[in-house]
Amino acid sequence: MRPRVLLVREWDTQMGGSGCCGRLGGLDSGLCEVDPFPRARAGMERMGVVYRALHEALGDERIELTVVDPRNTVALPPMIYRDARRRRGMGRRDALRQVRRGVGTGAVVVDGKVLHWGTIAEDPDSVVAAVLDELAASP
Amino acid sequence: MPALAIAIVVFLLYGLGYRYYSKYLAEKVYGLEEQYLTPSHEFRDGVDFLPTNKHVLFGHHFTSVAGAAPIVGPAIAVVWGWLPALIWVVLGTIFASGAHDFGSIAVSVRHRARNIGTLAQDVISNRSRTLFLLIIFFLLTLVNAVFAIVISNLFVGFPEVIIPIFVEIPLAIAVGQYVYRKQTPALVPSLIGVAILYATIPLGNAVPIALPETMTIAGLELQDVQVWVLILFLYAGIASRIPVWILLQPRDYINSHQLFIALAVIFLGVIGFTQVVLPEMTAPAINPDVPDDAPPMIPFLFVIIACGAISGFHSLVASGTTAKQLDKETDARYVGYMGSLGEGSLALGAILATGAGLAIVGMDWSEAYASFESADAGAVGNFVEGVGGFGQNLGMTAAFASTFAALVVVSFAATTLDTGLRLQRYVIQEIGGLAGITVLRRNLALVTVIATLIPLALAWFRDLAFEQLWQLFGTTNQLTAGLALSVIAVWVFKRRRNPIAQIVPLVFLLVMTVSVLVINTWSFVVEGEGLTQWLLGPMNVAILVLAIWLVVEAVLSLIRMRGARREEPVDAPDAPSHQ
């Protein structure tokens, strides 16, 4: 089982709030020539740099690299919690702490452990180094 | 019959649909290949094209397609009894929506993750792009109009919700400012936002804000619903011009929790934790006393319930967006088909709330559905009361539970409104470009006014019945689905596979939609008067023309493809590359 690295940032598909008939404000519906979400787009681009650096350094063979929207309530909190419990053997309290930190734009999570949170990392090399250190330290 | 028994049977059928029918679609119809090089790998850029874990992608996709619309249609359609509505929701979800949503992802993945509008152009004809834009124009106009009426009716019927809903606006802005400025994870602030929002419910219940039934403003005598419609469009017009991160995006964080809280209240309420007796369906399975003013069940049932059985909007999310993140082609089955089942579950919740929940709060179903007009105008109110009943089953007070349900519906519908208006601007600009009207491309203020005024007029004039607007909305939504199914059918046929899974729902939808349009054209244009004749009549005729145009394009394309298929090798235009 490959270590799972989650990068948390907003997805344009999640914009528009109400779902179904309101979810068309994203970039890729073919209806918007201009970008209605420039701020989210900037975050996507910045996290894209981190993503590419990690992918280049580790590749699909060594890690499962996934990008998640912080509003993805179905997947993100359970995934962090489960990984923290099963892959790290953390207690419930610690696992919940990881969830609290991890469900926010900019978070970098390795097998349920949050390495970075709060802002999208400006220096992708530092994220790669932190992930490599974490992978080396993991059992 | 206990509502729980119906829920269990339906979930069982959904499970069988996933297990067997989606497998048939994946293997025999769409021919998915695990080794196919998906666009997320081929064009991987770390920004738009990203191979994504299928459970994560399902979360993105499901929350993108689930919303308020699958609640309204089923809540109206139970006027014929809960069984016909349930049968259409279940069969539509399993056989129509499943094939449509899943197929939209599959065909998009094989065409560089293009969106359905571009795919229609590529797969059917160049004219289809214009057809697509016109359908979307009508769809958005009607979405904005019907959701404005839905919210206004709820404001009048449930004045207790007004304080919480207006608190939600500064609350969402505050959450957004905190999250974006402090650069902090949004989970705790947004959960606190939800808690504060629900804490205002008792305040709303204590101080309901009910406008006078009629009032005179600037010499015009207005009904309360009209005043709310004006206020809503004023709000939506402003909201659609302010940057999304100030209000729209932070409200997404609050709404993302509300969706799951509402689903939990509905389905846990059906189990009934605090009651010994399970909620029973008090609505008739088949209504023996259908109101005289109700239209014939066939074909109207199939456009009144669009979202929840099949929704063309899903093809816009599935293609172009979800398709860009699909890791393995075979994941399309899980993401697309399960997304449909999720939407069908919301529709099921609406049927159970109106069929069983109303009795818990002491409402007489036959009174609530005494006429088609009251069933239509009161549909969302009946859903709210029904969910309120389920909330009582979970230990909430009746007043709290019904205001909670109204709050959830209004939160979703209000966000639809400002997103819809925002998007309508782009569509008008694009249509202006196609028509060579440069002022529409350049003047954003003018475009905003046009995007606001058309749905405002539809919602504001009280002699236009909500039922007529909802039916028009349903027909355009079904036409969007028809366009997507045509694209998928032609693509499947081109790949020398049997397109029957698309052709059957396509023909069925088109027959029902065209029938409704023909009947309504007669009643609006010939029998109608005033605005019904002069506003809805032409709109109905225009949508009928689009429907016929769609049929012609689909048939021509299939005939053309039949000829081309004899000459081309299998899979020539989109031959799969492999990892």
C-alpha distances in Å from residue B573, one per residue of B236, B273, B347, B537: 44, 56, 38, 42
The pLDDT value recorded for residue A17 is: 46
Most confident of B79-88, B278-287, B364-373: B79-88
Judged by CB atoms closer than 8 Å, whether chains meet at A25 and B248 is answered as: yes
- Measured from the Cβ of residue B397, the count of other Cβ atoms closer than 10 Å reads 14
Q: Which of B46, B68, B324 sits opposite A28 (nearest CB)?
A: B324
Question: Which chain A positions have a beta carbon within 8 Å of B311's beta carbon?
Answer: 20-21
Give the gap in angstroms from C-alpha B260 to the nearest C-alpha of chain A.
8
Tell me which H or E stretch contains B217: strand B214-217
**Per-residue pLDDT tens over the stretch B72-92:** 999 999 999 999 999 999 999
**Per-residue pLDDT tens over the stretch B382-420:** 999 999 999 988 889 988 999 999 999 898 888 788 777
- pLDDT tier, B568 (very low <50, low <70, confident <90, very high otherwise): low
Q: Find residue A65's DSSP bridge partners.
A: A5
Is pLDDT at B183 greater than 80 in this prediction?
A: no
Question: Which chain B positions have a beta carbon within 8 Å of A20's beta carbon?
Answer: 65-70, 307, 311, 313-314, 343, 416
B571 within a domain of the structure (yes/no): no
Average confidence (pLDDT) over B230-258: 81
Comparing A17 with B9, the larger pLDDT belongs to B9
Q: Is B353 left (phi over 0), alpha (psi -120 to 50) or beta?
A: alpha
In A, minimum Cα distance to B133 occurs at A31
- pLDDT tier, B101 (very low <50, low <70, confident <90, very high otherwise): very high
Whole-number percent of chain B with pLDDT over 90: 53
Is pLDDT at B542 greater than 50 in this prediction?
A: yes
Q: Around B59, how many Cα atoms within 13 Å sit in the side-chain half-sphere? A: 22
Alpha-carbon distance B216 to A118, whole Å? 52
Lowest-confidence region among B46-60, B218-232, B453-467? B453-467
B428 within a domain of the structure (yes/no): yes
Residues of chain A with pLDDT below 50 are 16-18, 23, 25-27
**Per-residue pLDDT tens over the stretch B503-534:** 999 999 999 999 999 999 999 988 888 888 88
Whole-number percent of chain B with pLDDT over 70: 97
Comparing A31 with B458, the larger pLDDT belongs to B458
In A, minimum Cα distance to B47 occurs at A48
The pLDDT value recorded for residue B577 is: 46
B570 within a domain of the structure (yes/no): no
Judged by CB atoms closer than 8 Å, whether chains meet at A18 and B320 is answered as: no
The pLDDT value recorded for residue B424 is: 81
- pLDDT tier, B209 (very low <50, low <70, confident <90, very high otherwise): very high
Is pLDDT at B275 greater than 70 in this prediction?
A: no
CATH at B484: 1.20.1740.10
Is pLDDT at B274 greater than 80 in this prediction?
A: no
Comparing B12 with B550, the larger pLDDT belongs to B12
When scoring A11, A12, A18 by the number of chain B Cβ atoms within 10 A, the one with the most, hence best to mutate, is A18
Provide the residue range defining the domain that includes B468. 3-565
B572 within a domain of the structure (yes/no): no
The pLDDT value recorded for residue B576 is: 46
**Per-residue pLDDT tens over the stretch B129-139:** 888 888 888 98
B353 within a domain of the structure (yes/no): yes
Cβ partners under 8 Å of residue B384, min gap 6: B154, B157, B158, B402, B405, B406, B409
B412 within a domain of the structure (yes/no): yes
- Structural domains of chain B, count: 1
When scoring B55, B429, B431, B440 by the number of chain A Cβ atoms within 10 A, the one with the most, hence best to mutate, is B55
ipTM of the complex: 0.88
Give the gap in angstroms from C-alpha B45 to the nearest C-alpha of chain A.
7
B142 within a domain of the structure (yes/no): yes
Give the gap in angstroms from C-alpha B321 to the nearest C-alpha of chain A.
6
Cβ partners under 8 Å of residue B123, min gap 6: B107, B111, B487, B490, B491, B494, B557
B553 within a domain of the structure (yes/no): yes
